[in-house]
Chain A
C-alpha cells in the first residue's frame, strides 16, 4: 500500500518530466534545424511569439483549469507586463548596459506590475462567478488596453511628466524625450528577448504552475473549484486562495508580456495584440488543449500558432481549414465516440496489452 502511494507520486512526477522534456526537445530540434538553415525566416520570427503564447496558455490554465474561473481579461495583464517592463528597459538602457541583467530586472518588474493589477482587479471581480466573471474580466482587459492608449509619459531634466491628453501638454523641455507616446506606444525598446530566453521562461512558468498545483496551496485551490461549500466547511479560506491563483496567473501573463515587448521595436496597445481577440485566442488554446491539462495547452498553443502559417499555401481557404481543424479536434477529444476510439486505440493500452501477454507467457 505504501508502494502504491509511491507509484502514484511517480506517475505525476513522470508526467511532469515528460512535459519539461517536450519543451526542451522542441528547443533542441528547432536549434538544430536553424543551424542547418532549413527554417524559414518567417518561422524564425514566429518563435518568440510562440513562446509568449505558450506562457500565456499555461498561465491562463491556472485560472480556468485549476482555479475554475473563466477569465477573458488575460491579454490585459499581458499588456501591463509589456508596458511596465518596456518602460523600464527604455529608461535603463544607458544605466544598465548589460542586456541580461536589464532583461532579468524587466521580467521582475513586468511580473510585479501584472500581479499588482491582478490583485486590484481580482478583489472586486472574484466575487462573481461563471459568465458574469467572464464579462467583467473582459471589460477590465479592454479598460487596461484603452487606458494605456491615452497615456503620454516623457522624461526631461526635471523628471517624469505624464499626461492623458497629448504629448505637448506634458510641457517637456526641448531636449526631453517622449517614452510612452499614447496610441503610438513605446518605440525603441531594447531587443533583449530571443528564443532561448523564451524557452527558459516557459520552463520557469511550467515549474511554478506544476509545483503549485501539486502542493498544499494547489490542493486548496482545486478543492474550492470542485466544491466551494465543502472547502469552506473544512476550513479553507476561499477568497485568499482564489485571489492567489488569479494573481499568480496574472503575473505569469505579465512575464509573457515582457517577452513579447522585448521582441518588438515598437510596442503599441492595439486590439490585435492586447485586446479581447487575444484573450479569447488564449482561452482557445486552453480549451482545446484540455481545461486543466497543462501539457495540452502547450501543444495547443504551438499547433494553433503554426497552423495558419502551415496552411498559408491554401490562401483563401486558410481560415476555413483552421476552423475545421478546431472542430475536428474538439470532436476527437470530447465526443463520446471520439473518446471510445481513443480508449480503444490508445498507445498506453496497446503497450499495456503487450506487457500483459508477455507476463502471461
Chain B
C-alpha cells in the first residue's frame, strides 16, 4: 500500500480553481518531486496536504487513513511534517529549543510539573535535550545549539527547519523549495542532506523545487503542475525531457 494517496483533490477560492483533479501516489521511502512554473499551485497542494486549506473535492489517504479536511495539528500528529518556502523558525528561541518545540508532542509532562519542577520535569527535559542534540548533530548544527535561531546563516536556518520537522517524527516530510536562495555550493550540500535524511530516517520525502539540478539529482519521480492541473507525471528523466514540460517552463 502506498504511504500517501491523493485522489481527485481540488480547491476553489471563489471562482478561481487553484488546484483541480490532483492525484498523487507516493510509496514508502520515495523521494518525490512536485514541480511547475510560478503560480502553478504547488504550495497550495502542500497547504491542502497539511490542512492549512480544506479541499473542496477529493480525498487524501496517509498510510490508509483518511486525513482529508483535518486540522493542521491533527495532520501533524498523523505524520506529515513540513518546511516553508519562506523560512519560519522560532526566531527568539535557541536552536536547541526550536527542535525541542518539534518534540513537544512526543515528550510530555504537565504544566504544573513544569512549574513545580517535579523530578519528572528533569527526567523528561534531559531526554528531550539528548534527542534534540542527536538531531542537531545529524544536521551539523550541534555547535550552534545555544545560538538564537535568527542568528544562524541562511543555509543553516533551512537545515534547522528540516531538523525541527523531523523532530515531530513524521512518516512523510514535505519540503517547500528547500534550495531557494542558496548558492550552488549550499545546494550541493543540501542534496546530500536530503538524501541522507531519506536513508538514515527511512523517510518519505515530497519536495517542491525550482532548481532543476537538485530535482534531477535526487528526485526519483516527478509530478508537474501547470495552472492547477497535472501536466505530466512519471520518472524524473522522462518527465524533464517531455516537450510539454519544457514548453510550460520556457514558453513556445
Cβ–Cβ < 8 Å partners of B109 in chain A? 215-216
* Residues A233 and B72 in contact, CB atoms below 8 Å apart: yes
How many interface residues does chain B have, given as a range?
A: 35 or more
Query: By the criterion CB–CB under 8 Å, are A223 and B101 in contact?
Result: yes
Which one, A1, A212, A214, A219, contacts B104 given CB within 8 A? A219
Contact A217 B101 (CB under 8 A): no
Shortest beta-carbon distance, B170 to chain A, in Å?
10
The chain A residue sitting closest to B161, CB to CB, is A230
Contacts of B82 in A (CB 8 A): 233
CB distance from B49 to the nearest CB of A (A): 11
In the bound complex, residues from chain A placing their C-beta under 8 Å from that of B84 are 229-230, 233
Question: A226 contacts the other chain (Cβ, under 8 Å)?
Answer: yes
Q: Which of B110-118, B202-210, B229-237 interfaces with chain A?
A: B110-118
Q: Is the interface of B mostly helix, strand, loop or mixed?
A: helix
Interchain CB contact under 8 A, B101 and A231:
yes
A-side contacts of B50, CB under 8 Å = 233
| C-alpha spacing A233/B91, complex, angstroms | 16
Stretch at the interface among A93-101, A189-197, A234-242, A337-345: A234-242
Chain B 69-109 interface residues, beta-carbon cutoff 8 Å to A: 72-73, 76-77, 81-82, 84, 88-94, 96-97, 100-102, 104-105, 107-109
Q: Are A230 and B115 in contact (CB under 8 A)?
A: no
Chain B 114-161 residues near chain A, CB threshold 8 A: 114-117, 121, 124-125, 128-129, 133, 142-143, 145-146
A234 near B89: Cβ-Cβ < 8 Å: no
Whether B168 and A227, one on each chain, are in contact in the complex, defined by CB atoms closer than 8 angstroms, is no
| A219 and B94 alpha carbons, distance in the complex (Å) | 10
Whether, in the assembled complex, A244 has its beta carbon less than 8 Å from a beta carbon of chain B, the answer is yes
A216-B104, A218-B114, A235-B105 known; A223+B90 contact, CB < 8 A: yes
Query: Could you tell me the distance in whole angstroms from the C-beta of B136 to the nearest C-beta in chain A?
Result: 9
A244 (CB) vs chain B CBs: closest residue: B111
Which of B115, B129, B167 has the most A CB atoms < 10 Å from its CB?
A: B115
Q: In the bound complex, how far is the Cα of B96 from the Cα of A229, in angstroms?
A: 19
Q: How far is the CA of A222 from the CA of B89 in the complex (A)?
A: 11
State A1–B128 Cα separation when bound (angstroms).
15
Q: Are B104 and A235 in contact (CB under 8 A)?
A: yes
Distance of A5 Cα from B109 Cα, bound (Å): 21
Contact between chains at A211 and B116 (CB < 8 Å): yes
Identity of the chain A residue whose Cβ is nearest the Cβ of B102 in the assembled complex? A234
Decide if B165 is an interface residue (CB 8 Å cutoff).
Answer: yes
A234 to B90, CA, bound (A): 11
> Do the beta carbons of A227 and B88 come within 8 Å of each other?
yes
Measured CA separation A55–B165 after assembly (Å): 38
- Give Cα A236–Cα B71 distance, bound, in whole angstroms: 11
Name the distance in Å between B190's Cβ and chain A's nearest Cβ: 19
A-side contacts of B42, CB under 8 Å:
none
Please tell me if B171 contacts chain A, counting CB pairs below 8 Å.
Answer: no
Contact A227 B89 (CB under 8 A): yes
Contact B88 A230 (CB under 8 A): yes
Report chain A residues within 8 Å CB of B92.
222, 225-226, 292
Q: Is the interface of A mostly helix, strand, loop or mixed?
A: helix
How far, in whole Å, are A235 and B84 apart by their CA atoms in the complex? 15
Q: Check: A4 CB closer than 8 A to any chain B CB.
A: yes
Residue of B nearest to A292 (CB): B92
Distance in angstroms from B178 CB to nearest chain A CB is 15
Q: Which of A218, A231, A234 contacts B81 (CB 8 A)?
A: A234
Chain A residues whose C-beta falls within 8 Å of the C-beta of B76 in the assembled complex:
232-235
From A208, A216, A230, A236, contact of B73 by CB (8 A)? A236
With both chains docked as a complex, state the minimum distance between the C-beta of A113 and any C-beta of chain B, in angstroms: 20
Q: Which chain A residues in 331-352 approach chain B with CB under 8 Å?
A: none
Q: A231 is contacted by which of B90, B114, B146 (Cβ under 8 Å)?
A: B90
Most-contacted residue by chain B among A207, A223, A232, A234 (CB, 10 A): A234
From B81, B113, B115, B142, A233 is in contact (CB under 8 Å) with B81
> Which residue of chain A has the shortest Cβ distance to B132 in the bound complex?
A5
Check A8 for interface membership: any CB of B closer than 8 A: yes
B81 touching A222, Cβ below 8 Å: no
Cα A1 to Cα B144 in complex, Å, equals 10
The answer for the CA separation of A220 and B76 in the assembled complex, in Å, is 15
Min CB–CB distance B3 → chain A (angstroms)? 19
Nearest CB in chain A to that of B165: its residue: A234
30 A-B Cβ contacts within 8 A?
A5-B133, A8-B94, A8-B146, A211-B116, A211-B117, A215-B113, A216-B104, A216-B108, A216-B109, A217-B111, A218-B114, A219-B93, A219-B100, A222-B90, A226-B92, A227-B88, A229-B52, A229-B88, A230-B89, A231-B101, A233-B81, A233-B84, A233-B88, A234-B104, A234-B167, A235-B73, A235-B77, A235-B168, A244-B111, A292-B92
Closest 8 CB pairs of A and B: A215-B114, A230-B88, A226-B90, A235-B76, A223-B101, A217-B111, A232-B72, A223-B90
Interface residues of B, Cβ cutoff 8 Å to A: 50, 52, 72-73, 76-77, 81-82, 84, 88-94, 96-97, 100-102, 104-105, 107-109, 111, 113-117, 121, 124-125, 128-129, 133, 142-143, 145-146, 164-165, 167-168
For the complex with contacts A215-B114, A230-B90, A233-B72, 20 further pairs of A-B residues with Cβ separation under 8 Å are A1-B145, A5-B96, A5-B133, A5-B145, A8-B145, A211-B114, A211-B117, A216-B100, A219-B93, A220-B104, A223-B101, A227-B88, A229-B52, A230-B84, A230-B89, A231-B90, A233-B76, A234-B168, A235-B76, A236-B104
